Amino acid sequence: MQRNKAKPDCVKLSAMSISSNILLVTLNARYMHTAFGLRYLQANMAELENQTKLIEFTIHELPINIAEQLLSHNPKVIGFSVYIWNVAEVTKTVAMLKQIAPEVKIILGGPEVSHYPDVPMVCELADYVISGPGEHAFPALCQQLLAGNSPEEKFIDGKALPLDELKLPYRYYTDEDIRNRLIYVEASRGCPFKCEFCLSALDKTAKAFSLEAFLNEMEALLNRGVRNFKFIDRTFNLKIATSVQILEFFLARMSDDLYLHFEVVPDHLPDKLKEVLKRFPAHSLQFEIGIQTFDREIQTRISRKQNNEKSKANIQWLRDNTGAHLHTDLIFGLPGDNLENFADSFDQLIALQPQEIQLGILKRLRGAPINRHNDDYALRYNPEAPYNILTTRDIDFTTMQRINRFARYWDMFGNSGRFSHSLPLILGDNPFQSFLALSDALYERSNSSWKIALKRQFELLYQILTEVLNYSEQTASEALMADFERTGLKGRPDFNQREEGEKSGKKGIANKRQRMHSHG
Ligand code: B12
Ligand code: SF4
């Protein structure tokens, strides 16, 4: 587990911390994630840079300990990066800081607080809230505060600087980050599309960083040992000439362990791009491909422009002609969505055999234009982050819960890549309905959709394959044993066992999905 690895130096504070006037702070979803946005802020602090310190925590740390560590630096200003995954914990931390040290100015920024008046409660506790990009507005506000001036306006509009005026943040990845954590990179910002569930729908357009400057930074990262690059560009395949140049750059520097992750739109794969993609070795590329839904009416309703036929042909092409790992996304709960059309999208996507299908439940992102459908489609969301949808006009709560469990079991049995022999049996000719039957039966028997020991997963699958999906004992056990042998677990599952409760106590084997898929 990543969390057990050594923590970065910035988190380990000695008893004798050096004072820093300005702290840039966030709580990442997990230790492996790095706060890329804060590294941009740090890089653009100009003359305040040597008074600024970046400190990262994870959402698993206690707010009281975070407060203690922060205050040990005697800061005058603390800037927090607030996202959907940390808003609850940031709120607790800020509330505590305001009790202990109310004189410390708290500035919030990040997508979760950028859409006034649709902002969370933590904004009431803070002194200032900067919306949008913070590279210019944050140092400007810090200058004023350190000079003893307190601007009256609490909500400040962070104006976007032209991208070529930004200092790039890559040197703020430490060696520790490079060894143990994800390295995010960004060749362009923004998205020209308008899918209403997504915050990027608010962007006017996508803008590119200077390609030369960007590639110089990539060269430096490669020289420092980075082999896994996670591009966060909303749409990597927008400007094909640029995509091709970036891909050629990495192709020329290819090594066994180089691994590139891109988010792409599925219906835009011109020949020029295909030609380069074909030249990448197997397992060196991962594409995150948002499908969300194949339902044309819903696509139109949420302003998502997607050519379904082209998308399918391109996914098929990628499967047939590249060794890329395809991580596709579907969303359940969009306005007008119901079990039938979700099933239909799932079945269409399964037929294309991407290695992963991430089944997301719609979330209400603050500021996202989809909110305009709330009344017509009775969209009711969890009031607490992550604001997941609970019921809609067309989906009752029981069905929503069923699909939530379906999604988790799908992660366990579909996306894990562990069940490549058994999965075709489970899915049969009617994948969605069969997996739903399995999911319902699994929940009934295990009462859990979270942690089920690996051996027990095999035993439960055996029961369901034979009792619910009506396979013979021989067919079921042959397929399951073929998968079990690849797990590396000792012993064998007890297919005759009926009682709950066997806990192998062993950790699952290497859960690198890539590897599992590549053997399957
Ligand atoms: C990396 C990432 C993640 C990582 C987490 C990273 C981490 N550090 O822990 C993972 C993969 C875990 C993740 C998960 C999710 N994510 Co995400 N993720 C991103 C992604 C791709 C990159 C973030 C980034 O670095 N951006 C680049 C920097 C430059 O931009 P930035 O972070 O916005 O920072 C700028 C400004 O916001 C501002 N700013 C930021 N911090 C601060 C602080 C101060 C003080 C100031 C003044 C300004 C400021 O200045 C920065 C520089 O311009 C973005 C999409 C994107 N391209 O931005 C989505 C995004 C942040 N995620 C989003 C969502 C919805 C999710 C999920 C809910 C998705 C899902 N369906 O499950 C989950 C939540 C997980 C959970 N546990 O609840 C939304 C944001 C929603 C929100 N309100 O926070 C985004 C914007 C995607 C989108 N377009 O809708 N995500
Ligand atoms: S879902 Fe993707 S294509 Fe649509 S607006 Fe968001 S980033 Fe752009």
* pLDDT, tens only, 93-108: 999 999 999 999 999 9
Index of the ligand 1 atom closest to the CA of residue 79? 45
Ligand 2 centroid from CA 8, angstroms? 32
Residues 6+ apart with CB under 8 A from 234: 188, 190, 191, 200, 203, 206, 263
Per-residue pLDDT at 183 exceeds 60: yes
Ligand 2 centroid from CA 111, angstroms? 15
Ligand 2 cavity residues, CB under 6 Å: 191, 193, 195, 198, 200-201, 234-235, 265, 290
CB distance 332 to ligand 1 below 6 Å: no
Residues 6+ apart with CB under 8 A from 507: none
Average pLDDT over residues 157-162: 94
Per-residue pLDDT at 328 exceeds 90: yes
Index of the ligand 2 atom closest to the CA of residue 203? 5
Closest CA to 82 of 54, 120, 116: 120
Per-residue pLDDT at 500 exceeds 80: no
Ligand with the closest atom to the CA of 85: 1
Per-residue pLDDT at 197 exceeds 60: yes
Query: Is 349 within 8 Å of 291 (Cβ atoms)?
Result: yes
What integer pLDDT is reported at residue 498 of this predicted model? Answer: 53
Ligand 2 centroid from CA 203, angstroms? 10
Position 251, amino acid? L
Position 157, amino acid? D
Q: Whose CA is nearest to atom 84 of ligand 1?
A: 83
- List, in sequence order, every residue forming a beta bridge with 197; answer none if it has no partner: none
H helix or E strand, kind and range, residue 391: strand 389-391
What integer pLDDT is reported at residue 95 of this predicted model? Answer: 98
Ligand 1 centroid from CA 70, angstroms? 22
If one residue of 39, 83, 106, 357 were mutated to test the ligand 1 pocket, choosing by the most ligand atoms within 8 A of its CB, it would be 83
Least confident span in 4-13, 21-30, 234-243, 249-258 = 4-13
Going from the C-alpha of 298 to that of each of 31, 345, 505, the distances in angstroms are 37, 11, 45
Ligand with the closest atom to the CA of 34: 1
CA atoms of 363 and 365, how far apart (whole Å): 6
Residues 6+ apart with CB under 8 A from 132: 114, 157, 158, 159, 160
Q: Where are the beta strands (DSSP E) in 14-122?
A: 22-28, 52-58, 77-81, 105-109
Ligand 2 centroid from CA 195, angstroms? 6
Query: Is 257 within 8 Å of 211 (Cβ atoms)?
Result: no
| DSSP structural state of residue 447 | S
H helix or E strand, kind and range, residue 475: helix 473-485
Ligand with the closest atom to the CA of 209: 1
If one residue of 188, 200, 299, 311 were mutated to test the ligand 2 pocket, choosing by the most ligand atoms within 8 A of its CB, it would be 200
Ligand 2 centroid from CA 266, angstroms? 11
Q: What is the largest CA-CA distance in the chain?
A: 78
Query: Is 417 within 8 Å of 411 (Cβ atoms)?
Result: no
Residues 6+ apart with CB under 8 A from 308: 267, 294, 296
pLDDT tens for each residue of 207-249: 999 999 999 999 999 999 999 999 999 999 999 999 999 999 9
If one residue of 189, 234, 238 were mutated to test the ligand 2 pocket, choosing by the most ligand atoms within 8 A of its CB, it would be 234
CB distance 57 to ligand 1 below 6 Å: no
Ligand 1 centroid from CA 199, angstroms? 10
Per-residue pLDDT at 8 exceeds 80: no
The distance of Cα 11 from the centroid of its chain, to the nearest Å, equals: 23
- Neighbouring CB atoms inside 10 A of 56's CB total 22
CA atoms of 421 and 184, how far apart (whole Å): 35
CB distance 84 to ligand 1 below 6 Å: yes
> Per the structure block, which two tokens stand in for 508?
């699952």
If one residue of 235, 237, 363 were mutated to test the ligand 2 pocket, choosing by the most ligand atoms within 8 A of its CB, it would be 235
pLDDT tens for each residue of 464-494: 999 999 999 999 999 999 999 999 998 899 9
CA atoms of 76 and 53, how far apart (whole Å): 12
Average pLDDT over residues 376-395: 98
Index of the ligand 1 atom closest to the CA of residue 36? 25
CB distance 336 to ligand 1 below 6 Å: no
Q: Whose CA is nearest to atom 54 of ligand 1?
A: 232
Ligand 1 centroid from CA 83, angstroms? 6
Ligand 1 centroid from CA 200, angstroms? 11
What integer pLDDT is reported at residue 48 of this predicted model? Answer: 98
Q: Is residue 13 very low, low, confident or very high in pLDDT (cuts 50, 70, 90)?
A: very low
CA atoms of 97 and 76, how far apart (whole Å): 12
pLDDT tens for each residue of 427-452: 999 999 999 999 999 999 988 777 89
Ligand 1 centroid from CA 403, angstroms? 25
Burial of 498 (0-12, 13-18, 19+ CB in 10 A): exposed
Query: Is 455 within 8 Å of 489 (Cβ atoms)?
Result: yes
The mean of the pLDDT values for the chain is 92
Ligand 1 centroid from CA 76, angstroms? 26
What is the phi/psi pair of residue 334, to 5°?
Answer: -65, 155
What is the phi/psi pair of residue 122, to 5°?
Answer: -60, -25
Query: Is 168 within 8 Å of 209 (Cβ atoms)?
Result: yes
**Residue recorded with tokens 């067919």:** 475
Ligand with the closest atom to the CA of 290: 2
pLDDT tens for each residue of 137-155: 999 999 999 999 999 999 9
Q: Is residue 17 very low, low, confident or very high in pLDDT (cuts 50, 70, 90)?
A: low
Going from the C-alpha of 102 to that of each of 74, 78, 253, 272, the distances in angstroms are 13, 12, 52, 58
Query: Is 177 within 8 Å of 8 (Cβ atoms)?
Result: yes
Ligand 1 centroid from CA 191, angstroms? 14
Q: Whose CA is nearest to atom 4 of ligand 2?
A: 195
H helix or E strand, kind and range, residue 207: strand 207-208
CA atoms of 472 and 465, how far apart (whole Å): 8
Per-residue pLDDT at 496 exceeds 80: no
CB distance 369 to ligand 1 below 6 Å: no
Preceding peptide of 431 cis, ω within 30°: no
- List, in sequence order, every residue forming a beta bridge with 185; answer none if it has no partner: 231
Index of the ligand 2 atom closest to the CA of residue 265? 3
- Dihedral-angle region of residue 276 (phi above 0 means left; psi in -120 to 50 means alpha; beta otherwise): alpha
Query: Is 516 within 8 Å of 417 (Cβ atoms)?
Result: yes
Residues 6+ apart with CB under 8 A from 204: 190
Q: Whose CA is nearest to atom 80 of ligand 1?
A: 111
**Residue recorded with tokens 């307190």:** 150
Ligand with the closest atom to the CA of 304: 2
pLDDT over 70, % of the chain: 92
What integer pLDDT is reported at residue 395 of this predicted model? Answer: 98
Going from the C-alpha of 222 to that of each of 123, 168, 197, 303, the distances in angstroms are 40, 16, 35, 39
pTM confidence score: 0.93
Going from the C-alpha of 514 to that of each of 259, 340, 359, the distances in angstroms are 11, 31, 18
Closest CA to 107 of 143, 72, 73: 143
What integer pLDDT is reported at residue 517 of this predicted model? Answer: 63
Ligand with the closest atom to the CA of 235: 2
